[in-house]
A and B are shown apart, each in its own frame.
Chain A
């Protein structure tokens, strides 16, 4: 088995272990390359099906093409699609793009807060109706106790310390100093009522591995990652006010891989275009301790 086959097999094993162990499981889909690979791996693990609902937290500051792409594949692959958002903050415009708060606070309310309350079901969810093709508002949803996330250890320091199965307490807190042991392929699959778990099937994958796998499997990936002739492309997708594109002429998966392997991005961190990480020296760890994915 080559290294991609090894990574694939381990991720499938983790997905199946999560599916076996937790009743109320959901998978986050940010529309980006990592969670799209994760979605593909779910189809691998479950023989073409996606028996786990997918959740997207819409900050409404996403590039419109992302929403179009999301709905196209949600319909094509018959995905149980759930969308959540922070209606209150969006209404009062307490956001960074509206100039009323800083980047970190904006991330915390539009992403972390929205995620927390959409997961617990105390905020409304918008669920895709496959018959009408429309999203329908749903109240009083059942809380999800297991969340599958596409985080990778190579992205950033605090993610390098994650477990495949990572517990979060009642307040969503991550106790980084006291994580459960993970031995061989035995993970923490037992959880006290009230707590929940985050599952990270992609921890061992690097950015390069993700692209190599997209190429090998021919996974349809959103074209914001490629240069459309203007010499610019996104390397990491987020909200447009806080995510900058990079100068690159990579027009397809092969050319992206070339850039990462030995080309211009071989030694430049992927999240270097994400402004919120820089805000207090450990911006992402602060966000992550409080529920950011």
Chain B
């Protein structure tokens, strides 16, 4: 390496800080021009880019605009608007930036939101000539909701108002009043003319009355937020890996630590299942051995005690403040889809690592973010509405209130494969009955009874009806056992039926589980088993990897009839009581005898002689 290059390396600051900034505001207020100017005047453009774009404009007889440096898509240049958020990279003396240039047109609000959700700070641009507009306010509100706290306001196009302080002051006053209502305290207001390059990289003499910073200085004054290592530990389980085929026996719980810190040996609890274990090791590839991991790291753990946990659960430290576990959430939602969010329709919520079915239960108020007016008589949530509402999930999920821990207090809603809405959790809501319980209540109230009573069936069939649920870890044996049991009972003249619901139908494969199909299949199973047991039969079925919640759901749906749980192998429940524990299926005969003993003891088969 030559002497000169050697020197270059040393003088060049190897900045190790990177910051995401979003530029937002109403359409045509000059966001792309601000960013274009910033890139051009800091010498951040690739060599020849400026000349290229100028040349192309000349060829097409179009006046050159700095925005063309960013509006890279053909449609954008043709229409003169930004359609989608672009990432631009540049470096100041202080750090590296990714500037996200967001579109200002209401049609592209979801693109603006995608840009802002990635940002650590924002520059909000207002046209001095047009003043505060609908999307100046809407975008400001979105910032507060998305949790972007650091904001600088640029009053742009000052050249069009003769660099007038009066115009600047009145816009500042009006917009400050708005920001105060939504709890945003801007770091500064800067009068600029992006087109003329005034107050972009340095403070210009054009507006001597402005005694603040330039745009670039304001960017550099944003503070990098500290990593949330001191908050309670939250580790959404993204996946569980076992690469046995590659000769690797580690069972690794993989994911990213959202908040907090953890050490090898710490005792952990998974929510909502409440299963507990202890951190045995922190795993990684091409890294030194670690005894501690912290917020921000994508990592993996092995556990001291092997437990069955599904992806999507939240791993927490036993001694920490734990998240809330509930099926009801009070939230603030912004809706982006053309189809409104309506009651009674099944959606999917994705919160941290969880993906579960969800319903809109109640709309409290709907806010128009462009003028902060509210409406409390709405039954559904329209596109671009911001609504305070109550959501109800099928299964309990673990979450935090966004004010306490933002990372695990926000979510998106999926409607028909699309991310249709996003939101933050305001609180939990206590509702005494679950969705399933209400459904069963309704069913029982509307059930048409005949003159044949359960008692009459019982004495005719010489048995009491029940569901016999055979559970345990995946593996063959359970189905054969169930079939043999059916045969045995049938031979002794019992009214019995083996419901051979294929376990692949109830699949524990991620895709099936995550789309809510397993839950739906189990719900149907519960309803079907209610029919069979109501008809007086002994119904036998098997389900792999049943968890507490799922068992509870089947139990509820099968009510008022009985359900007996026979567990094979390791007990995967945390709370549920198992009626019969069979450690292994080495002897099927033995297992059948035990089950029949149980049925006799509980008086389902009364004349069974031991």
Contacts and interface: CB of A to CB of B under 8 A. Distances in A.
A253 interface: no
A2 B83 CA distance: 32
Contacts of B514: 21
B600 interface: no
Given A16-B254, A182-B117, A183-B412, A255 B5 contact: yes
B45 interface: yes
Contacts of A223: none
Interface in B49-108: 49, 56, 70, 72-75, 83-89, 96, 98
Contact of A180 (B9, B70, B418): B418
A177 B114 contact: no
Interface in B17-40: 17-18
A2 B87 contact: no
B412 to A, nearest CB: 4
Contacts of A269: 46-49
A65 interface: no
B442 interface: no
Interface stretch (A28-36, A131-139, A158-166): A158-166
Contact of B73 (A1, A261, A285): A285
Given A3-B17, A177-B83, A261 B8 contact: yes
B73 A158 contact: yes
Interface string A182-195: 11111011111000
A78 B286 contact: no
A288 to B, nearest CB: 10
Contacts of A19: 239
A142 to B, nearest CB: 15
SS class, residues of chain B in contact with chain A: mixed
B243 interface: yes
B248 interface: yes
A46 B238 CA distance: 12
A170 interface: no
B286 A204 contact: no
Q: Give the interface size bracket for A toward B.
A: 35 or more
A17 B43 contact: no
A267 B88 CA distance: 14
A62 B410 CA distance: 47
Contacts of A190: 348, 414, 417-418, 515
A269 B414 CA distance: 39
B422 A12 contact: no
Contacts of A47: 241, 243, 248, 250, 252, 254, 283-285, 300
Contacts of A268: 46-48
B285 A43 contact: yes
B114 A163 contact: yes
A231 interface: no
Contacts of A156: 72
A272 interface: yes
A262 B410 CA distance: 41
Contacts of A48: 248, 285
Residue from A17, A185, A191 with most neighbouring chain B CB atoms (10 Å): A185
B239 A16 contact: yes
Interface string A5-37: 111111011001101110100000000000000
Interface of B: 1, 5, 8-9, 11-12, 14-18, 43-49, 56, 70, 72-75, 83-89, 96, 98, 110-111, 113-114, 117-118, 146, 227, 238-239, 241, 243, 246, 248, 250, 252, 254-256, 283-286, 296-298, 300, 311, 336, 348, 350, 407, 410-412, 414, 416-419, 422, 510-511, 514-515
Interface of A: 1-10, 12-13, 16-17, 19-21, 23, 43-49, 51, 78, 153-154, 156-158, 160-161, 163, 176-177, 179-186, 188-192, 203-204, 206, 217, 254-255, 257-259, 261-263, 267-269, 272, 281-282, 285
Ranked 6 nearest A-B pairs via Cβ: A157-B72, A269-B46, A12-B298, A262-B12, A3-B18, A153-B87
11 contacts: A1-B297, A17-B238, A44-B286, A46-B285, A160-B70, A160-B86, A182-B118, A255-B1, A269-B46, A269-B47, A272-B46
